Structure 1
Amino acid sequence: MALLDHDALLAGRADEAVRRVPGGLGAVWYRGWMIPAEAYADLDTALAGRGARLPTSPDQYRSAHELPRW
């Protein structure tokens, strides 16, 4: 388990938000408050830089959580 800084993520500082995530985790799941699709995409990029990946792509996240795509 790793924690991320939700406030930093929503403020547009995704690299800061994931600074406590250990490198090389592989697949990780975001379990937290709903976040805008742009923040999710930033999170995906920041995690990839640390060797972690979200199983739901930013496009899939956007399609599932924003109207009218669902």
Structure 2
Amino acid sequence: MSKYCDGRWAIVGRYGSGGLALYNFDGAEWKLIPQDSEYESGFGPCYTERYLREMGVPNIVLTEGPNCNG
């Protein structure tokens, strides 16, 4: 399922799993953006705000995506 998609960035996950990942469309195909950290709770991989900002993601990705702060 897709939680967010603007044609360039997409937050997707498997329904009911709670796990989300970030994808970027490069003009030809969607590519998974590898997570750069892990939740302190041990829940799994996440993205740091700095990493996301360096990629230039829209602000909604910072609040709705699997970022390590939320």
TM over 0.5, shorter chain: no
> Greater strand percent: which structure?
2
TM-score scaled to structure 1, two decimals? 0.29
TM-score scaled to structure 2, two decimals? 0.29
Greater relative contact order, per chain length (Cα 8 Å cut-off, separation 6+): 1
> Greater helix percent: which structure?
1
